[in-house]
Amino acid sequence: MANKLCDSQGQLIGYIKTVEKNMHDGLTRVILHTGNELTFLPGDLIADRGGNLSIRYGGPNAGKKSTSAANTAAIKDVIFAPPATIVYWSDGSKTIVKCSEKDVFDPEKGLAMAIAKRCGGNKGSYYKEIQNWVEKSGKKYPGKTATQKKAAPKSNPDRESMKKLISKTNEDWNEFLKACANNDNTELLLNMNALTADLKILEIEINK
């Protein structure tokens, strides 16, 4: 059995293939069986008697490396069990997200949110990260208030606008899927931001 690399909480990141230490700068390079390479500063890693490594809690690079390493795994299996979406990863970990009681269960949205949560280190605050990026975009998408009255039937221009919005959402969704396939976490977050904005605009247009 290969030695393990775990985060500061003891959660498995991956199985170690080789460990290389640079004698000049003291950096340690850990190569996992998945092919991913992780570099750590001196003092970031703790080794046990069995040769397993764990990231030191509170170290100068611990949080950053742990999150980066956690994002290297690929999707192994997905289970849709309304209201929950469960994603199993190739490193042996899993991510669970649930929709609220007021929402209609959507498998695609559930999977997208699970991937976003994984990118955020599997922490419950991942949705705040999404909201943060939406706010940074500088665009405001106010929701419909409870006092608004039902509007008249949509005109042809309204329908054309809806078609354009749907087309834009589909384009962003395709880019999101490409980022997932390429394991590009930066593009993944950017496309998640775009999708969140698209869905909010669509919601507003539908509820006019």
Q: Give residue limits of the domains in the chain.
A: 4-70, 73-124, 141-208
DSSP secondary structure letters along 49-82: TTS-EEEPTT-TTHHHHHHHHHTT--EEEEEEET
Residues 6+ apart with CB under 8 A from 10: 54
Residue 106 has pLDDT above 80, yes or no: yes
pLDDT digits (tens, 9 = 90+) for 65-79: 444 444 556 778 888
User: Residue 97's beta-bridge partner residues?
Assistant: 85
Strand order, beta sheet including 84-89: 75-81, 84-89, 94-98
- Comparing 26-40, 137-151, 167-181, the range with the smallest average pLDDT is 137-151
Stated pTM of the model: 0.37
Q: Alpha-carbon distance 66 to 123, whole Å?
A: 12
pLDDT tens across 70-103, in order?
A: 455 677 888 888 889 998 877 778 888 888 888 8
Residue 133 φ then ψ, to 5°? -70, -35
Which of 199, 206, 127 has its CA nearest to residue 169? 199
- Tell me the pLDDT tens digit for each residue of 115-142: 888 776 666 666 776 777 777 777 665 5
What per-residue confidence (pLDDT) applies to 60? 44
